[in-house]
Amino acid sequence: MIRTRFTDMFGVQHPITCGGMTGLGTAELISAVANAGALGFLTALTQPTPEDLAKEIARTRELTDRPFGVNLTILPTINPVPYDEYRAAIIESGVKVVETAGSSPQPHLPDFKAAGVKVIHKATSVRHALSAQRHGVDVVSIDGFECAGHPGEDDVAGLVLIPAAVARLSIPVIASGGVATGAGLAAVLALGADGANMGTRFMATTEAPIHDNVKRQIVANTERDTVLVFREFHNTARVARNSISNQIIEISARSDATFADVAELASGARGRADVLGAGDMEGGLWWASQAQGLIEDVGTCANVVARIIAEAEQVITRRLPSLVGAPVG
The answer to whether the predicted template modeling score (pTM) of the entire model surpasses 0.85 is: yes
**pLDDT the model gives residue 161:** 97
pLDDT attached to residue 328: 64
Predicted local confidence at residue 80, as pLDDT: 87
Q: What is the mean pLDDT of the chain?
A: 95
Identity of residue 285:
L
Residue 75 has pLDDT above 90, yes or no: no
Phi, psi of 3 (to 5 degrees): -115, 130
- Read off the pLDDT of residues 82-119 as tens digits, 9 standing for 90 and up: 999 999 999 999 999 999 999 999 999 999 999 999 99
How many Cα atoms within 13 Å fall on the side-chain side of residue 223?
Answer: 10
pLDDT tens readout for residues 258-269: 999 999 999 988
Mean pLDDT of 292-298: 97
Percent of the chain with pLDDT over 90: 92
What would the 3-class secondary structure string for the chain be? CCCCHHHHHHCCCCCEEECCCCCCCCHHHHHHHHHCCCEEEEEHHHCCCHHHHHHHHHHHHHHCCCCCEEEEEECCCCCCCCHHHHHHHHHHCCCCEEEEEECCCHHHHHHHHHCCCEEEEEECCHHHHHHHHHHCCCEEEEECCCCCECCCCCCCCHHHHHHHHHHHCCCCEEEECCCCCHHHHHHHHHCCCCEEECCHHHHCECCCCCCHHHHHHHHHCCCCCEEEECHHHCCCEEEECCHHHHHHHHHHCCCCCCHHHCCCCCCHHHHHHHHHHCCCCCCCCCECCHHHHHCCCCECHHHHHHHHHHHHHHHHHHHHHHCCCCCCC
Over residues 127-137, mean pLDDT: 97
Confidence of residue 38 (pLDDT cuts 50, 70, 90): very high
At 327, the pLDDT band (50, 70, 90 cuts) reads low
The pLDDT assigned to 79 comes to 80
Percent of residues, the chain, with pLDDT higher than 70? 99
For residue range 194-226, what is the model confidence (pLDDT) as tens digits? 999 999 999 999 999 999 999 999 999 999 999
Q: How confident is the model at residue 231 (pLDDT cuts 50, 70, 90)?
A: very high
Q: Domain spanning 5-209+297-322: which CATH class is it, in words?
A: alpha beta
Say if strands 118-123 and 97-102 run parallel, antiparallel, or are unpaired.
parallel
Crossing angle of the two packed helices 83-92 and 50-63, in degrees rounded to 10: 30
Q: What is the pLDDT of residues 39-72, one digit of tens each?
A: 999 999 999 999 999 999 999 999 999 999 999 9
> What pLDDT, on a 0 to 100 scale, did the predictor assign at position 326?
59
pLDDT band at 76 (very low <50, low <70, confident <90, very high): confident
Q: How far apart are CA 199 and CA 180, in angstroms?
A: 8
**What is the structure's pLDDT at 329?**
60
CB neighbourhood size of 65 (10 A): 9
Domain boundaries, the chain: 5-209+297-322, 226-277
- What residues form DSSP beta bridges with 99? 71, 120
